Amino acid sequence: MVPVEYYLGLSIVLFSLVALGVLILRNAIIIFMSVELMLNSANLTFVAFANQYQLISGQIFVFFVMAVAAAEVAVGLALIVAIFQTKQSIDVDQINLLKG
């Protein structure tokens, strides 16, 4: 059996990587994809623990996270499209009207 710590470690590595991506990248869509990957790494943690404790609640939670992630993608991409219609660009650095 693979110790659960390995799964956790993988989850953390994935999370850090995409966090870095969210912070560095300027393409809105890729940032969004990184966010999805973040959620996915969290899902991995849940499933790992569900397996460890033989509790199915973890998997139920993953189920709901997936549903929410799907909804979120739909709305988020709609937002990006709407912004693209206004700004004709998907560079997040262009969205700086709240500059103080």
Looking only at residues 52 through 71 of this chain, which bind another protein when binding is defined by CB under 8 A? 52-54, 56-57, 59-60, 62-64, 66-71
Sign of CA dihedral 12, 13, 16, 21: negative
Task: Name the nearest CA neighbour of 36 among 56, 57, 66.
Answer: 66
Q: How far is the CB of 42 from another protein (least distance, A)?
A: 11
Asked whether 59 and 50 are in contact (CB, 8 A), the reply is yes
Q: Looking only at residues 20 through 59 of this chain, which bind another protein when binding is defined by CB under 8 A?
A: 20-27, 29-30, 32-34, 36-37, 40, 43-44, 47-48, 50-54, 56-57, 59
